[in-house]
Amino acid sequence: MIQEPSATVHLGDAIAWLQTLDTASIDAVVTDPPYSSGGMVRGDRAGTTTKIKYTGDKANSEYADFSGDNRDQRGWGYWMTLWLSEALRVTKPGGVLVMFCDWRQLPTATDVIQSGGWVWRGLLPWIKPDSRPQLGRFTQNSEFVAWGSNGPMPFEGDCLPGYYLARAPRANEGRQHITQKPVDVLRSLVRIAPRGGLVIDPFTGSGTTGVACIHEGRRFAGCESVAAHHATALNRIAVARGQAVPDGLQGAFDLGEAS
């Protein structure tokens, strides 16, 4: 009998959580850390993530704020090196790091992968076909997945895509985080780990990596520092495992008189 993949999400700080994990105990790190990117002035970076920076000054965003997105370039690089070094320790030799970033932080992201001790393996563009064009400019319709390994890695497993073409989730499609990534993209990415292997995400957010692992037969452990997103991740993973009903689909009690 095939055992159902396990999935856990810790509520707390990513680096503190990584320090509790055993050395060489996991197969892959698949994550979407805060970019600390964008914003034209210092005030943008110091504001909430769900007001000015991502929603165009909407005071009443429907999404919860998230932490760690207000570092400057140098601070972001130092912080990234800290957790990437700890993530390397807990990854098995030959294990893999898969990490989202945007074009602004791409140079620093590829540097910190290497300063954290990983072998940088390359980039996967994630192309968003519905990005808004700008007159007189090239359309910024790509984010990137930078990946690396803990030393040499074997030539085995699935052949995986070199790029992804997918829209970001929309509000009417169940989007629950301002920077939520498509499940189909994550389902492909987690296949870099062997079936039954353990994938971790130190920045779990709304839990998309965990959902992908459940669908693809990988075990999952994550960490999220914001209580609202931690609760969302737990619920989405429970839905993926068939242990909960998706939001909006629960049946209603009929409180009318019995006939």
Q: What is the pLDDT of residue 138?
A: 92
Residue whose structure tokens are 């994990």? 21
Q: What is the pLDDT of residue 182?
A: 92
pLDDT over threshold 60, residue 247: no
**How far does CA 184 lie from the centroid of its chain?**
13
- The CA dihedral of 28, 33, 38, 42, to the nearest 10 degrees, is -150
Domain ranges in the chain are 7-240
Mean pLDDT of the region 107-120: 97
The domain made up of 7-240 has a fold known as Rossmann fold (3.40.50)
Q: What is the pLDDT of residues 137-160, one digit of tens each?
A: 999 899 999 999 999 999 998 899
Q: Where are the alpha helices (DSSP H) in the chain?
A: 14-18, 42-46, 54-55, 73-90, 106-115, 183-189, 208-216, 227-240
Q: What is the pLDDT of residues 33-54, one digit of tens each?
A: 998 875 544 555 555 544 454 5
